[in-house]
Amino acid sequence: MEGQTETAAIGDKLFAGMESGDLDAVRECFAPDALVWHNANNQVDGVEETLRTLAAFTDYWTLKYDDIRRVKIPDGFAQQHTLRGRGPAGDEFEAHIGVFVTLGAAGTIVRIDEYLDPSQLPKYLDPSQ
């Protein structure tokens, strides 16, 4: 049960930080050499690139993670959620996303594999372009 609690805590902290734009909280969730892979462009980013992308995203969009379904797996957790974004001009998007999050021995994230349909994002946010 302890592992389940720790997994939930890191998942909650990560997505709350991403939603609020708290980059320090997000950084604390990651091991320094963690990697984030994106299916839309088959690109792998390190922690700092991930934080820069998130900062650019949250500078414009108000984000909300809804419909969160999280399952513990042996080395971390899998999560499916709906990401909703609203821009200052009222423009909105909704994307359905799945992630596999791998945790290291220290309980921090060492890898995220993200799956999304880029057509659900505004064209200028589509990483496959």
Considering only CA atoms, give the Rg of the chain: 14
**Tens of pLDDT, residue by residue, the chain (129 residues):** 355 677 889 999 999 999 999 999 999 999 999 999 999 999 999 999 999 999 988 888 899 999 999 999 999 999 999 999 988 888 899 999 999 999 999 999 999 999 999 888 876 555 555
The whole-angstrom separation of Cα 28 and Cα 68 is: 21
The backbone region for 58, taken as left when phi is positive above 0, alpha when psi lies in -120 to 50, beta otherwise, is alpha
- Residues 6 or more apart whose CB falls under 8 angstroms from that of 23 comprise 17, 51, 54, 55
Q: Quick check: is 125 in a domain?
A: no
Q: For residue 91, what pLDDT is reported? A: 87
- 128 located within any domain: no
User: Biggest alpha carbon distance in the chain?
Assistant: 45
Evaluate whether residue 126 is within a structural domain. no
Q: Is residue 57 domain-resident?
A: yes
pLDDT number for residue 125: 57
Boundaries of domain holding 107: 1-120
